Amino acid sequence: MKFLLPHRYKKIGTIITPLGLSLWLIMQLGYLQNMIVYVFGQPNENQKWSAYHVANVIAAIIGFSSFLSGLYFVAFSKEKVEDEMVQKTRLESFQFAAFLQIITTIVGFGFVLFAGDPGESGMLLFFIVLVFLFWLLFIGRFNYILHVKYKS
């Protein structure tokens, strides 16, 4: 493939991905809010954008962007030896991840049909999980096939 990154980006991606996910989860679970309240005190409700809100938004943007960038680096980096077997495994992993994402989408919408409306935040979470699921399935299967199955 012509648009693959050099192999060194895979190492960078394996560092950035968990750090970005951790920062985003810390923000989502409210731990960052507790730290900000501890440092700055309770936010003033009259101010629309207090330090509390700005720090929360910045953490969300940096965490989520770092996580997605790290996934991109891991997914689109060359292997040390880039041959036809690696390219075939990469293509099969993309197909596998796409197939499972379609199945998950159909099952998810079926669940929504029978269980009721999950609300706007529930649907947003569902779509975020779908995006993550695709990339994590691709990376997981690709690395498993390449480094575990073919090595043994």
Question: Tell me, what's the pLDDT at 2?
Answer: 74
Question: Tell me, what's the pLDDT at 128?
Answer: 86
Question: Tell me, what's the pLDDT at 38?
Answer: 73
DSSP state of 6: P
Question: Tell me, what's the pLDDT at 138?
Answer: 95
Query: How far, in Å, are 39, 40, 58, 100, 103 from residue 138 at the CA level?
Result: 41, 42, 29, 10, 15
Taking 50 as the pLDDT cut, the residues of the chain under it are: none
Domains of the chain, by residue range, sit at: 1-78, 80-152
* pLDDT tens column, 94-126: 999 999 999 999 998 898 888 888 888 888 888
Question: Tell me, what's the pLDDT at 34?
Answer: 76
Question: Tell me, what's the pLDDT at 88?
Answer: 93
User: Identity (one letter) of the amino acid at 86?
Assistant: V
Q: Which residues contact 20 (CB under 8 A, 6 or more apart)?
A: 62, 63, 64, 65, 66, 67, 68, 69, 70
Q: Which residues contact 136 (CB under 8 A, 6 or more apart)?
A: 71
The answer to whether residues 35 and 52 touch, using CB atoms and an 8 Å cutoff, is no
Which residue bears the tokens 């993550």? Answer: 132
